[in-house]
Amino acid sequence: MPPSDRTDSARKHQLLELAYAHVLDHGLADMSLRPLAEAIGSSPRVLLFLFGSKDALVQALLARAREDETGMLGAVHRARPGHDLARAGQLVWGWLADPAHRKLLTLWVEGYSRSLTADAGPWAGFAGRTISDWLEVFAAAQPPAHRDTPEGLAERTLLLAVLRGALLDLLAAGDEPRATAAVTAHLRTLTNPAAAPPTP
């Protein structure tokens, strides 16, 4: 890589991190290049030169947020919950409920909701990719014989739905004990199948 390309790459990475810190505080949906550039010590011209377009910058910021999310899921995998879906859910919820992650998760919800109505552009596909990321980690925490069954898929899909719903509740109301109690109640049904409601 020529020195100028390395310099551009390093500057691009630096500005991406600064922009990411900014949107964690201010959100992404109404982002304008000029105020963003001023906030991070750059200019709209430089941002457009390095990223190509505003949409490409938004896409890079969403990818950066997804990196933090997949980093968390990777940490859950490395914690080796074994074939224990309840333990995997507990580890994920512990991360989601941590106040240190509120800004990231608010940004994640923003990206998730915007992607539901975006058939094209930087938001498109964001929600679907995050669902796949989570389900993959939960699948690894299920016994192989159960993992590839319709019941196994339904079980991890329900866990994801419970965690996502509890997260939205937590971000909206800030009542962590109540949200955690609800998640814990569901996790107990995974540990003790007899506690689950009967199938109609």
With a CB cutoff of 8 Å and minimum separation 6, the contacts of 140 are 77, 88
Confidence (pLDDT) at 25: 94
Q: Do residues 70 and 44 both lie within one domain?
A: no
Q: Do residues 114 and 136 both lie within one domain?
A: yes
User: Would you say residue 167 lies in a domain?
Assistant: yes
Residue 49, Cβ neighbours under 10 Å: how many?
12
- Once rounded to an integer, what is the mean pLDDT over residues 175-187? 97
User: Would you say residue 44 lies in a domain?
Assistant: yes
Q: Are 93 and 183 in contact (CB under 8 A)?
A: yes
User: Would you say residue 60 lies in a domain?
Assistant: no
User: Would you say residue 10 lies in a domain?
Assistant: yes
Q: Do residues 77 and 170 both lie within one domain?
A: yes
pTM, to two decimals? 0.84
Q: Are 162 and 189 in contact (CB under 8 A)?
A: no
User: Would you say residue 128 lies in a domain?
Assistant: yes
- Residue 116 to residues 73, 120, 132: CA-CA distances in angstroms? 22, 11, 15
Q: Do residues 163 and 191 both lie within one domain?
A: yes
Q: Do residues 23 and 73 both lie within one domain?
A: no
- Helices marked H in the chain: 3-26, 33-39, 44-51, 54-78, 85-96, 102-115, 126-140, 144-147, 150-173, 176-191
- Once rounded to an integer, what is the mean pLDDT over residues 166-173? 97
User: For residue range 128-166, what is the model confidence (pLDDT) as tens digits?
Assistant: 999 999 999 899 999 999 999 999 999 999 999 999 999
Q: Are 33 and 47 in contact (CB under 8 A)?
A: yes
Q: Do residues 36 and 92 both lie within one domain?
A: no
User: Would you say residue 134 lies in a domain?
Assistant: yes
Q: Do residues 90 and 185 both lie within one domain?
A: yes
Range of the domain at 4: 1-52
Q: Are 151 and 158 in contact (CB under 8 A)?
A: no
57-64: long-range contacts at Cβ-Cβ below 8 A with a sequence spacing of 24 or more?
A: 57/19, 57/33, 58/28, 58/31, 58/122, 58/123, 59/122, 60/16, 61/16, 61/19, 61/20, 61/23, 61/28, 62/28, 62/111, 62/122, 62/123, 62/126, 64/16, 64/17, 64/20
User: For residue range 42-63, what is the model confidence (pLDDT) as tens digits?
Assistant: 999 999 999 999 999 999 999 9
Domain count, the chain: 2
Q: Do residues 79 and 175 both lie within one domain?
A: yes
How far is it, in rounded angstroms, from Cα 78 to Cα 81? 8
Confidence (pLDDT) at 82: 75
How far is it, in rounded angstroms, from Cα 93 to Cα 74? 14
Q: Do residues 129 and 43 both lie within one domain?
A: no
Q: Do residues 158 and 107 both lie within one domain?
A: yes
Q: Do residues 47 and 77 both lie within one domain?
A: no
User: Would you say residue 57 lies in a domain?
Assistant: no
User: Would you say residue 120 lies in a domain?
Assistant: yes
Q: Do residues 39 and 98 both lie within one domain?
A: no
